[in-house]
């Protein structure tokens, strides 16, 4: 396997570290064919490759659920924890406190975040620690076969015909209100926007919260669902044409990120809306 | 045995001729929030400074102001520092509890009380010393707002006069209490002096109790268990501390914060070399500890029963994913909210197997502040050596009360960081299998996140996994892994602090106890011998899983009494899980679970009564 110190002899395309895209891949996904989460894993692989992220510095952290299985499917050589349901934020916080050089990449789901994990989620947002928090949001519990989650829209219908009568929790609005400094909502099917947001997140120093609508092909991709591929495609309204521009300022940040983080017990909401051009909040419905 | 009880009944001699010296228990009854803490700790310290072994216990309500609180000081020339059931001296300051407190006194006891309470009418077999506290405090404390706080110092002065506590020691103790605040020292001392003078003018000593200088505390320190745990954690090199406030554990982390700010800030950069987070709840606190332990830090949290219940799921995760963590459990009375400010050994059984599925956890059980310190250090070593959560099982009595101790020694052993592979190691080995039992001791090798070597990375999960940390539901993988975890536990069994055993050649009666019961057991052993000619041997447990010596101890005796400060004989239950039927038959139970620290008399009486049934 190629490493940073031994560049590959073949003329394969490599990034600034001399690593190939293959170095960023993970194990074969065991999620359903067509699952939005697989597309998100692909974007993570691309973004890390293109940004020249050192895999060994990445801590992949997740809770429980289909989404939380996905860290096994990207960055095979990185370290990871598939922890407890709704508890990824605390595992991530501890890991970051222990080693300030780690790049924390958290993957959660809508049930994992907005229901069982809402407490840890809101407190993580308050602390604005350097972490990327991706919600792979499909509005249902997949592993337990299709119950509504707390991000399901009012009026959305399950396959069984059950209609959701509770309002959804808007994780983006919560994150902004609580102090996360980089917040976005995207769609697993929007390759360009999601890639740009992920790269921006990798370059951001502070909590990045990306709510990525990621349709569940098995339990929530039918007529009457508001998280199906066709519904999201029909209702997606990009608020801005987002692209990632690696400015010198941001490049500088990437190197400073390797420095020990200085003030563990305080929150530093420095770049809150300075990065607002990266901030996109598509309408929920 | 201390013979005060017997002597008092027998004797009608004048006080001076019935002298009971350096053997009494003082109970101060106040209202919580009335600022009695200074007066009480100064009193305790002054007695301690006179060279008399003394222990103070604070019995307080789960409330901020207005409910009854009691502080007991036991002075014992024999060095007995367990709680005593009854006291010889009552200071009754609380109108709410005064009558009940007086009725609880044994005949011949003395009672100093606030004159207005008019307690003398209640009994004629108790010596009463009425004191006009308000009148005495007014002239020495012109500021009416401070009077409530200073007023309690008056009883320090009265007791000093009646018992023979040196006023100089009161002053020294006040100086220690207030450090550089000379004004506060003077104000409080003047109040004590007013009490002393009043007692000199007014009272003729009618009780037989005296305190006299001796030399049994030289070089000793006084510290509470929670501070000792905090010190130990700092010496152990803890760098990530996460916690959620809960009585009686909060002062572990609060004290640790003070120590770390003082001693663990980089002098050159002025930056903290540690991180302390007050988490949103115990779920998050233990989760952060797990994240930090996984990433290679020495990490800890401190909590009590309700917090432990919330930490259950993560503790099982730590056991199965094999992540080092140190959890201080300062036990209080359950179930549920229970009695949050009272003591118990109520989490022993629960913590041993905390979380769902087959789990087993290492527990260290300190009985003293010295062991709070040394076991804290040891806990971090064991957690990393065995890559698993380790509990330090203290309790409210040990954690929140001030105990006399020898000064702690600087740890001599280097830290044990366990089996951690570096990038070079992994490269040389051509990879590694995280959960493989390479050495036959059940402990796998781990790498730390950030190790710059592609073959070093692995994925940690609480779901089924094989030796290579890959997801697996295969029956063989599961069984192999679970059996290896048992091997690891067995390796730990031999490495934990051994029980402390004292034997005397007789083979009838053995006693097994742990934690703070130790102090009452020591006294009970003497009582049993002197009063009943029962010479019992004693095995003090210091860790779970039990060392084989515990089983062997049980085998040497006909009857073995297991002392538990809980209703359900939890330690006896744990022993039953590991022993054979023949051994189990020997076990008997002595239980104490009223929320107060266990006392020797309760143990002695229970053993005597059960022995009589033989």
Nearest-angstrom CA–CA distance, A231 and A170: 18
CB-based contact, A77 to chain B, within 8 Å: yes
Cα of A241 to nearest chain B Cα, Å: 35
Residue A13 lies in a domain: no
Q: Which residue of A has its CA nearest to B241?
A: A94
Residue A3 lies in a domain: no
Predicted pLDDT of residue B65: 82
CATH fold of the domain at B500-612: Rossmann fold (3.40.50)
Closest partner residue to B242 (CB to CB) among A72, A94, A262 is A94
Chain B residues with CB-CB distance to A264 below 8 A: 272, 274-277
Q: Which residue of B has its CA nearest to A124?
A: B280
Chain B residues with CB-CB distance to A61 below 8 A: 291
Predicted pLDDT of residue A239: 77
CB-based contact, A172 to chain B, within 8 Å: no
CATH code reported for the domain at B223-405: 3.40.50.970
Ordered alpha helix ranges (H), A35-131: 36-51, 66-69, 88-98, 110-114, 118-127
Is the full-model pTM beyond 0.90?
yes
B284 contacts A89? CB cut-off 8 A: yes
| Residue B305 predicted with pLDDT over 80 | yes
Nearest-angstrom CA–CA distance, B166 and B515: 34
Q: What DSSP designation does A168 have?
A: P
CB-based contact, A82 to chain B, within 8 Å: yes
Predicted pLDDT of residue B1: 39
Predicted pLDDT of residue A242: 78
pLDDT, mean of residues B290-311: 98
Helix (H, G, I), strand (E, B) or coil at B37: helix
CB-based contact, A257 to chain B, within 8 Å: no
What is the rounded end-to-end Cα distance, in angstroms, of chain B?
25
CB atoms within 10 A of CB B74: 24
Q: Which residue of B has its CA nearest to A68?
A: B461
Residue A46 lies in a domain: yes
Helix (H, G, I), strand (E, B) or coil at A125: helix
B389-402: pLDDT as tens digits: 999 999 999 999 99
Give which of A5, A30, A63, A91 to mutate to test B binding, by max B Cβ within 10 Å: A91
Give which of A86, A98, A130 to mutate to test B binding, by max B Cβ within 10 Å: A98
Residue A65 lies in a domain: yes
Q: Which residue of A has its CA nearest to B315?
A: A84
Q: Helix B600-612 vs helix B517-532: angle between axes, to the nearest 10 degrees?
A: 50
Residue A20 lies in a domain: no
Decide if B223-405 and B500-612 have a common fold: yes
Q: A261 lies in which domain range?
A: 38-278
Contacts of B376 (CB under 8 A, 6+ apart): B228, B229, B230, B231, B232, B233, B235, B236, B326, B328, B392
Chain B residues with CB-CB distance to A268 below 8 A: none
Predicted pLDDT of residue A6: 64
* Residue A222: CATH number of its domain: 3.40.50.970
Number of domains in chain A: 1
Chain B residues with CB-CB distance to A262 below 8 A: 271
Residue A16 lies in a domain: no
Predicted pLDDT of residue A283: 41
Indicate the average pLDDT of chain B: 95
B426-468: pLDDT as tens digits: 999 999 999 999 999 999 999 999 999 999 999 999 999 999 9
The domain limits of chain B are 4-210, 223-405, 423-495, 500-612
CB atoms within 10 A of CB B570: 22
Closest partner residue to B299 (CB to CB) among A1, A56, A98 is A98
> CA distances (Å), A193 to each of A114, A187, A189, in order?
23, 8, 9
B509-538: pLDDT as tens digits: 999 999 999 999 999 999 999 999 999 999
Contacts of A224 (CB under 8 A, 6+ apart): A156, A157
Q: What DSSP designation does B160 have?
A: I
A94 contacts B293? CB cut-off 8 A: yes
A72 contacts B290? CB cut-off 8 A: no
pLDDT, mean of residues B135-154: 93
A92 contacts B291? CB cut-off 8 A: yes
| Residue B254 predicted with pLDDT over 80 | yes
Predicted pLDDT of residue A275: 35
Residue A181 lies in a domain: yes
Which ranges of chain A have pLDDT less than 50?
A: 1-2, 248-285
| Residue B13 predicted with pLDDT over 90 | no
CB-based contact, A55 to chain B, within 8 Å: yes
- B4-210 is a CATH 3.40.920.10 domain: yes
Residue A70 lies in a domain: yes
Tell me the two tokens of residue A146.
Answer: 């299709």
Closest partner residue to A57 (CB to CB) among B283, B292, B450 is B450
ipTM of the prediction: 0.92
Chain A residues with CB-CB distance to B291 below 8 A: 61, 81, 90-98
B314 contacts A87? CB cut-off 8 A: yes
Residues facing A210 on adjacent strands? A134, A184
């Amino acid at each position: 396997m190629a490493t940073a110190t031994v560049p590959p002899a073949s003329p394969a395309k490599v990034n600034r570290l001399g690593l190939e895209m293959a170095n960023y891949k993970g194990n074969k996904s065991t999620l359903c064919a067509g699952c939005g989460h697989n597309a998100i894993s692909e974007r993570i692989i691309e973004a890390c490759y293109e940004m020249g992220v050192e895999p060994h510095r990445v801590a992949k952290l997740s809770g429980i659920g289909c989404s939380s299985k996905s860290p096994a499917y990207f960055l095979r050589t990185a370290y990871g924890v598939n922890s407890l349901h709704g508890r990824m934020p605390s595992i991530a916080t501890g890991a970051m406190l222990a080693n300030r050089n780690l790049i924390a990449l958290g993957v959660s789901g809508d049930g994992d975040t907005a229901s069982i994990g809402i407490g840890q989620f809101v407190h993580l947002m308050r602390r604005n620690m350097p972490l990327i928090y991706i919600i792979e949001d499909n509005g249902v519990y997949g592993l337990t076969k299709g119950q509504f989650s707390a991000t399901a829209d009012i009026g959305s219908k399950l396959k069984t015909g059950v209609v959701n009568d509770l309002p959804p929790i808007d994780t983006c609005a919560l994150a902004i209100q609580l102090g996360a400094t980089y917040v976005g909502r995207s769609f697993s099917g929007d390759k360009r926007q999601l890639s740009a947001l992920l790269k921006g997140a990798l370059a951001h120093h502070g909590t990045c919260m990306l709510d990525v609508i990621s349709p569940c092909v098995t339990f929530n991709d039918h007529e009457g669902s508001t998280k199906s591929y066709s519904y999201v495609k029909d209702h997606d309204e990009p608020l801005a044409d987002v692209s990632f521009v690696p400015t010198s300022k941001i490049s500088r940040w990437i190197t400073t990120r390797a420095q020990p983080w200085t003030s563990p017990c305080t929150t530093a909401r420095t770049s809150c809306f300075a990065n607002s051009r990266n901030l996109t909040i598509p309408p929920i419905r | 045995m201390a013979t005060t009880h017997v002597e008092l009944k027998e004797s009608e001699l004048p006080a001076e001729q019935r002298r009971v010296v350096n053997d009494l228990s003082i109970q101060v009854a106040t209202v919580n929030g009335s600022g009695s803490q200074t007066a009480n700790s100064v009193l305790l310290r002054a007695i301690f400074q006179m060279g008399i072994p003394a222990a103070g216990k604070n019995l307080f309500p789960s409330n901020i102001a207005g409910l009854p609180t009691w502080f007991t000081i036991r002075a014992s020339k024999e060095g007995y520092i367990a709680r005593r059931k009854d006291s010889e001296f009552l200071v009754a300051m609380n109108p709410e509890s005064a009558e009940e407190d007086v009725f609880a006194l044994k005949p011949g006891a003395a009672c100093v009380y606030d004159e207005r309470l008019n307690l003398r009418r209640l009994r004629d077999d108790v010596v009463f010393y009425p004191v006009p506290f308000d009148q005495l405090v007014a002239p020495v404390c012109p500021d009416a707002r401070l009077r409530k706080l200073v007023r309690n110092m008056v009883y320090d002065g009265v007791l000093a006069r009646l018992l023979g506590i040196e006023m100089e020691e009161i002053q020294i103790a006040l100086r220690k209490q207030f450090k550089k605040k000379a004004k506060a020292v003077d104000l409080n001392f003047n109040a004590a002096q007013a009490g002393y003078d009043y007692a000199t003018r007014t009272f003729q000593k009618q009780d037989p109790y005296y305190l006299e200088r001796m030399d049994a505390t030289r070089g000793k320190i006084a510290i509470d268990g929670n501070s000792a745990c905090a010190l130990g954690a700092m010496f152990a090199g803890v760098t990530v501390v996460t916690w959620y406030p809960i009585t009686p554990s909060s002062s572990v982390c609060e004290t640790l914060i003070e120590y770390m700010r003082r001693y663990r800030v980089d002098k050159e950069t002025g930056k903290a070399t540690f991180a302390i987070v007050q988490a949103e709840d115990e779920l998050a606190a233990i989760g952060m500890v797990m994240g930090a332990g996984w990433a290679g830090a020495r990490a800890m949290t401190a909590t009590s029963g309700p917090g432990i219940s919330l930490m259950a799921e993560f503790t099982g995760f730590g056991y199965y994913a094999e992540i080092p963590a140190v959890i201080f459990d300062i036990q209080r009375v359950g179930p549920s909210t229970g009695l949050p400010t009272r003591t118990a050994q109520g989490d022993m059984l629960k913590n041993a197997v905390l979380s769902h599925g087959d789990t087993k956890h290492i527990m260290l059980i300190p009985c003293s502040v010295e062991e709070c310190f040394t076991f804290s250090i040891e806990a971090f070593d064991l957690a990393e050596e065995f890559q698993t959560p380790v509990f330090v099982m203290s309790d409210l009595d040990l954690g929140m009360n001030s105990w006399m101790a020898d000064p702690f020694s600087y740890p001599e052993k280097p830290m044990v960081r366990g089996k951690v592979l570096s990038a070079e190691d992994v490269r040389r080995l051509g990879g590694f299998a995280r959960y493989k039992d390479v050495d036959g001791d059940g402990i796998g090798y781990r790498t730390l996140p950030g190790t710059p070597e592609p073959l070093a990375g692995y994925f940690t999960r609480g779901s089924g996994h094989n030796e290579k940390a890959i997801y697996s539901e295969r029956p063989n993988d599961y069984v192999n892994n679970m059996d290896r975890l048992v091997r690891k536990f067995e390796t730990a069994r031999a490495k934990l602090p051994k029980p402390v055993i004292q034997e005397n050649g007789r083979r009838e009666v053995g006693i097994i106890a742990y934690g703070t019961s130790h102090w009452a057991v020591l006294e009970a052993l003497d009582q049993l011998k002197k009063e009943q000619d029962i010479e019992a041997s004693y095995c003090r447990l210091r860790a779970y899983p039990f060392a084989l010596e515990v089983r062997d101890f049980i085998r040497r005796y006909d009857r073995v009494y297991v002392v538990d400060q809980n209703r359900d004989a939890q330690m006896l239950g744990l022993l039953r899980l590991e022993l054979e039927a023949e051994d189990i038959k020997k076990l008997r139970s002595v239980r104490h679970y009223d929320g107060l620290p266990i006392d020797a008399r309760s143990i002695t009486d229970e053993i005597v009564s059960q022995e009589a049934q033989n």
